[in-house]
Homo-oligomer: A and B are copies of this chain.
Amino acid sequence: MKKYNICVVGATGLVGGEMLQTLKKRNFPVNKIKALATKKSAGTQIKFGSDIITVEEITPESFNDIDIALFSGGEVASEEYAAVAVEKGCIVIDNSAAFRMDTDVPLVVPEVNPHAVDLHKGIIANPNCSTIQMVVALKPIYDAAGIKRVVVSTYQSVSGTGKAAADELYEQTGAILSEKQFSAAVYPHQIAFNLIPQIGSFGDDGYSSEEKKMILETQKIFADDNIKISPTTVRVPVKRGHCEAVNIETRTKISAKDVKKLLENKPGIIVTDVPSDSVYPMPLTCESRDEVFIGRIREDLSVENGINMWVVSDNLLKGAALNAVQIAELLLERGLV
């Protein structure tokens, strides 16, 4: 089997670290692995499975011998280096928001629009975490009954913001329990024992950038501007795992029982739905798991064709690193690299 030279940009970040672990865990055919970061982090020793590798400073030359570059260093790094990497012959799978809405950049969730990778021109974008888990859950319903409108409220963990945010949650929490002073640096407000209804920055229409991503990325992934999405995104004091209360208005009637049956047979989805036994997905039980977990599936009696469900997934895995590695696998499967 052919093996590939892979690099991870932003290797010292939470998602970068998970990208390395995911490549190893899924036995991705890696010939050479390179962990890249800014000068500040160069020299850091990090894990690649049970191996330890040394982080290198990113430069244009970093990409010389690379086949696939997984970018998770934020928008600035992507803007600075993605085009350079493509010029050097890499295929870039970019986890940042830098290119997601570019018309010539496919935005791919392998369970939903695998064919979209075929049209890539060097860069393939990985969608936003909150979008990915939602579209995986929506896809079987979309195919079976059509989707007119989705009202979604998110409950997003701090790891979506990065390491500093996860540390801040624990530091603030510890300070509160021991009645010590503390500050808020990563978020505009205290996150410990609190909720912040802001993810990203706000536009004039009152929607946050995270909310706009959920609308626009979903429409792009489904290649259907007629799916209307009404999102509210909220940060919660949870370390890892995003939850979404998803209300779906379908085009034709579908029962909760049929939705359950549909979802149970889909790869990448685990239905966890015995509420009378207190069985439903939670961040705690979905942490470090690959799948999108769906529970609380029930008919919405407030509208003619309505379904409610509760969708949980690990935002660092399916919401980021795993989906990126799955895109790389898709490139191999489809003979694109």
Contacts and interface: CB of A to CB of B under 8 A. Distances in A.
Interface string A281-324: 11110000000000111111111001010100000000000000
Interface in A183-235: 188-190, 193-198, 201-202, 205-208, 228-230, 232, 234
A197 to B, nearest CB: 5
30 contacts: A150-B302, A151-B247, A153-B153, A153-B245, A170-B177, A177-B177, A189-B278, A189-B282, A189-B284, A190-B284, A193-B237, A193-B238, A193-B283, A193-B284, A194-B238, A195-B238, A195-B243, A195-B283, A197-B281, A197-B310, A206-B296, A228-B302, A229-B302, A230-B247, A230-B302, A230-B306, A232-B245, A232-B296, A234-B245, A236-B236
A153 B232 contact: yes
Interface residues of A, number: 58
A278 B297 CA distance: 34
A230 B300 contact: yes
A42 interface: no
Contact of A232 (B188, B276, B308): B308
A173 interface: yes
A330 interface: no
Nearest to A276: B202
A243 B236 CA distance: 11
Interface in A233-268: 234, 236-239, 243, 245, 247, 256
A149 interface: yes
Nearest to A306: B230
Nearest to A284: B194
A275 interface: yes
Contact of A149 (B198, B207, B281, B303): B303
Given A177-B174, A234-B243, A238-B237, A194 B151 contact: no
Given A236-B236, A238-B195, A247-B151, A230 B278 contact: no
Nearest to A188: B278
A237 B188 CA distance: 19
Which residue, A177, A284, A302, has most C-beta atoms of chain B within 10 A? Answer: A302
Contact of A280 (B149, B193, B197, B278): B197
A48 interface: no
A301 B231 CA distance: 10
A71 interface: no
A232 B196 CA distance: 19
Which residue, A149, A150, A194, A238, has most C-beta atoms of chain B within 10 A? Answer: A194
A63 interface: no
Given A173-B177, A234-B243, A247-B247, 18 more contacts: A151-B300, A155-B195, A173-B173, A195-B236, A197-B310, A198-B280, A205-B298, A206-B296, A206-B299, A230-B300, A230-B302, A230-B306, A230-B308, A232-B245, A232-B310, A234-B245, A236-B236, A236-B237
